[in-house]
Structure 1
């Protein structure tokens, strides 16, 4: 929720009221319409609580910009003016409420909780699922998916793209670059069949389409690993002087994919991890940039649940061009599960392949040798690609006859696979800890600057809600509480020096207004900064 008012005392007062409530809201504040607009270019905003009359950009002009950027956003306007024209214009717009400031906090709180309820109800997507099924054109979807899988595997992307797009009903423009996003769809239980997994992934694809179509042209396909792969362009291509349209679209995608994740969790009971490329990609670069984004998704911090990560493709290390293509259908499936971190599904498929062969031996020793090396090559390929070979002997992996029996040989492969999954999980936890250490170091070095969730998320390229959740998970405290503690400790340190004025101490800890610093300090310590200084002197 974004709170907007040009009167600081009102903004701070509302911020404090909602800060103390358990509404599961990330709070932001702005002191002008233009500053509010800057917030909305940087992150998704679900609710705006705004003064309707402000110098410069007023509330109604702000409303028009909100509608263009975040069409699902709910607006609550506050004013001290019982002005009919303003009221009439506001109430004519869907999703907008209008309150007088004189009506008090209780009514404002009630309006915000009602807005939250409206948002939650709008995310119950039974109607969207029905529309998705009605719009599912199977043959066209399969043809488009096959075409882009061909391009991703190095097919000719410099041929007659325009003609191909027209024949396949692809609405993207081949004359302009494209943004790339990859979504890893996960479910808490095993899928009973390939068809069910495909159906679930397609449901996510069509749900996402409803959220993305407001500001983009997009196409989602299922890639060779069973993940969703989106190609996205701004709805209106940038003209002269509008080169940041792709940047704004990336911010839009970050916000919308968070909404998509929530809908998928509530309506389909699946989680979706999304990685978005921050730069527009030329069509000829599609295979290499796709591999870069997949590589970055693999190296995510934590388990990635409900994570939206933005990858700066221009600084990402290139993926080796020598990546092996699986030779058989079964190794393709094993590779997909291993790459996707799906341990249970990998082991289930492994057992389905090996146990019948060991029990029946209908195909004899040559088949067992082929099966062993099929699995071993999948594991070795993974080891080489992700450099997880410190504790695994690659030479021993490729010698089936080192074990006493075929049962022992396949048991060795299974244990090796389990070790790889465990190592990956441990690495994710280590990367999560390293990311949080970076955030804490940044806070310590920039205690006087903007330490909002949005800004800190940009520092380590995480979406704000994921950073907030990861920080609480790693540190046991809310990020906002941690920042307040760090600021109060820094303020105490500076107050013990007699050469600084109180206002200077406030400025050095992130509070430009002296009265705001005094109010914050007294709330945290029970005494004013001046009283604390006198106590230290005594």
Structure 2
């Protein structure tokens, strides 16, 4: 239902229009104000979709009101009524999109017609065709996918980087890394069975997400993603104009968001067939507390009154709706990410937060134990590490431990063993890769041993191979090749009757002069001198 505000300093006119529109049953939420200042109170308190106002009023007149309306409610339609032939005011009014102008002498039929046209314009503005096209285009961009993955990690427990601004800049995120952010969660309900498939649900959730971005982007910085539950989540900050420290403007952001989300819900219902409940944080949160705020909003959403359909719920983050933290499952993604990435310190820090906080019942601890166990077991199975660990089967047998402390200590030990196995495995694989390169060099001293050739053999890129070889062997690759050639040359000079030219060819030097220079530079003597000395 759209909300219409009637504003005129003549009470008879205000009441007359109010009664006329009420009798027409146009499904409008009618409000009235007898001055510009009273109208301002309405505009700061709630969303208004249509304003029917006199232009000439004492104090705050219609033109001043128009400026405030466009600043706070950009989708609001304005109909001006005047009994004056005030060309300047009329000209200024008709130059503004979404504004109509009527003479009071034209009577109620014209007013009713103008209101009907405004309702039609509002309905048209909610059409989703262009928004869905934009959603499909955005869906196919890697940038959007990367942003979604990044913010999902933040929501589900991965701590933000110390320098968020760098990450935001790389991901083209328009939110300010140094300012707090409002969180809004969508809870879509699908009337049609057509959206029960995963692909259709994702497409519908994305349409809702981008619809909200379009409605809010005029007066707020906003980024929407789909969380791992397939539900829309929005990160919102007042626009630069509103974020300048002005306390009055900051106080108005919540009524603005509530009002716009009401319009978004209407658009979703009429055009997508989706009833979307919205849960909105009552204040912004710091980025480092994002995961905690997200958990609180999700939990409080479960205790709302009624089915919550078309509800815009302002979540009081000071209220504790349950006695324990959110489900351990909410943090399991972060644990998996840290384990897969080999981030030992981050994994153990989150493990500590989960297992050492105060919990009130065994059911939660049981869920926590098996959640962490499944994360560890999944990793063990994927990397076929069962034979390298003791008591893997105990991960699924909590009853073998005398206490929760002992059970979680076992999980921690298992996790630390996995990180050590991963680290030692990486070291072993590095050593094995370098050893293979060394063997290849020793067996192919007469061939091309350039870095590029060795990189092709080892399936590493050249710069990585060079760095890895130095890291594992302690010498540069070129130095190792030179030493190998010298040692083979010495061996052949001592124990074989091959000519110096032939020996040079066997270690990669086609020209005898090149071999002689190389050998003398490394040993201080020529090949002939070395042979003569070694056989004395």
Q: In the TM superposition, what is the alpha-carbon distance from 1:126 to its structure 2 partner?
A: 1.3
1:229 aligns to what? 233
Question: Aligned ranges for residues 249-264 of structure 1 at < 5 Å?
Answer: 249-264=253-268
1:429 aligns to what? none
How many angstroms apart in 2 are the aligned matches of 1:192 and 1:297? 22
Q: In the TM superposition, what is the alpha-carbon distance from 1:327 to its structure 2 partner?
A: 10
SS of 1:146's partner is helix
Question: Aligned ranges for residues 470-509 of structure 1 at < 5 Å?
Answer: none
Question: Aligned ranges for residues 56-455 of structure 1 at < 5 Å?
Answer: 56-157=59-160, 159-190=162-193, 191-236=195-240, 242-317=246-321, 320-321=324-325, 323-325=327-329
Larger RCO (CA under 8 A, 6+ residues apart): 1
Relative to structure 1, is the Cα distance of residues 204 and 34 closer, same or farther in structure 2, using a 3 angstrom cutoff? same
- The size of the alignment, in residue pairs, is 335
How many angstroms apart in 2 are the aligned matches of 1:22 and 1:271? 24
How many angstroms apart in 2 are the aligned matches of 1:322 and 1:180? 17
SS of 2:29's partner is coil
Choose 274-283 or 182-191, whichever is displaced more.
182-191
Q: In the TM superposition, what is the alpha-carbon distance from 1:315 to its structure 2 partner?
A: 3.6
How many angstroms apart in 1 are the aligned matches of 2:242 and 2:118? 34
Q: 5+ residue gaps in structure 2?
A: 334-362, 369-536
Relative to structure 1, is the Cα distance of residues 60 and 322 closer, same or farther in structure 2, using a 3 angstrom cutoff? closer
Q: Is 1:43 aligned with 2:61?
A: no
Relative to structure 1, is the Cα distance of residues 326 and 233 closer, same or farther in structure 2, using a 3 angstrom cutoff? closer
1:364 aligns to what? none
How many angstroms apart in 2 are the aligned matches of 1:143 and 1:131? 18
Relative to structure 1, is the Cα distance of residues 279 and 127 closer, same or farther in structure 2, using a 3 angstrom cutoff? same
Choose 34-43 or 136-145, whichever is displaced more.
136-145
What TM-score, normalized to structure 1?
A: 0.59
Q: In the TM superposition, what is the alpha-carbon distance from 1:285 to its structure 2 partner?
A: 1.5
How many angstroms apart in 2 are the aligned matches of 1:121 and 1:47? 14
2:8 aligns to what? 5
Q: In the TM superposition, what is the alpha-carbon distance from 1:161 to its structure 2 partner?
A: 0.9
2:425 aligns to what? none
Relative to structure 1, is the Cα distance of residues 34 and 313 closer, same or farther in structure 2, using a 3 angstrom cutoff? same
Q: In the TM superposition, what is the alpha-carbon distance from 1:319 to its structure 2 partner?
A: 6.3
How many angstroms apart in 1 are the aligned matches of 2:332 and 2:157? 19
How many angstroms apart in 1 are the aligned matches of 2:328 and 2:316? 25
How many angstroms apart in 2 are the aligned matches of 1:287 and 1:189? 32
How many angstroms apart in 2 are the aligned matches of 1:167 and 1:241? 27
Q: In the TM superposition, what is the alpha-carbon distance from 1:321 to its structure 2 partner?
A: 2.7
SS of 1:230's partner is strand
For each residue in 1:42-67, what CA deviation from the matched residue of structure 2 results, as whole angstroms up to 9, or x when unmatched?
A: 11111000010000111011111111
SS of 1:26's partner is strand
For each residue in 1:185-226, what CA deviation from the matched residue of structure 2 results, as whole angstroms up to 9, or x when unmatched?
A: 221234353222111111111122111111011111111221
**Which is higher, the Rg of structure 1 or of structure 2?**
2
Relative to structure 1, is the Cα distance of residues 4 and 328 closer, same or farther in structure 2, using a 3 angstrom cutoff? closer
Q: Is 1:21 aligned with 2:54?
A: no
How many angstroms apart in 2 are the aligned matches of 1:245 and 1:137? 36
Choose 320-329 or 283-292, whichever is displaced more.
320-329
Choose 236-245 or 198-207, whichever is displaced more.
236-245
Relative to structure 1, is the Cα distance of residues 28 and 267 closer, same or farther in structure 2, using a 3 angstrom cutoff? same
How many angstroms apart in 2 are the aligned matches of 1:141 and 1:101? 51
What is the RMSD computed on CA atoms of the aligned residues?
2.5
Relative to structure 1, is the Cα distance of residues 130 and 240 closer, same or farther in structure 2, using a 3 angstrom cutoff? closer
Q: In the TM superposition, what is the alpha-carbon distance from 1:167 to its structure 2 partner?
A: 1.4
SS of 1:257's partner is helix
Q: 5+ residue gaps in structure 1?
A: 330-376, 383-538
How many angstroms apart in 1 are the aligned matches of 2:250 and 2:206? 26
Relative to structure 1, is the Cα distance of residues 127 and 326 closer, same or farther in structure 2, using a 3 angstrom cutoff? closer
Q: In the TM superposition, what is the alpha-carbon distance from 1:244 to its structure 2 partner?
A: 3.8
Check conservation: 2:18, 2:32, Cα contact below 8 A: yes
What TM-score, normalized to structure 2?
A: 0.59
Check conservation: 1:51, 1:59, Cα contact below 8 A: yes
For each residue in 1:457-511, what CA deviation from the matched residue of structure 2 results, as whole angstroms up to 9, or x when unmatched?
A: xxxxxxxxxxxxxxxxxxxxxxxxxxxxxxxxxxxxxxxxxxxxxxxxxxxxxxx
Q: In the TM superposition, what is the alpha-carbon distance from 1:323 to its structure 2 partner?
A: 2.6
Check conservation: 2:139, 2:145, Cα contact below 8 A: no
Check conservation: 1:288, 1:319, Cα contact below 8 A: no
Q: In the TM superposition, what is the alpha-carbon distance from 1:240 to its structure 2 partner?
A: 6.6
SS of 1:299's partner is coil
How many angstroms apart in 1 are the aligned matches of 2:31 and 2:52? 10
SS of 2:329's partner is coil
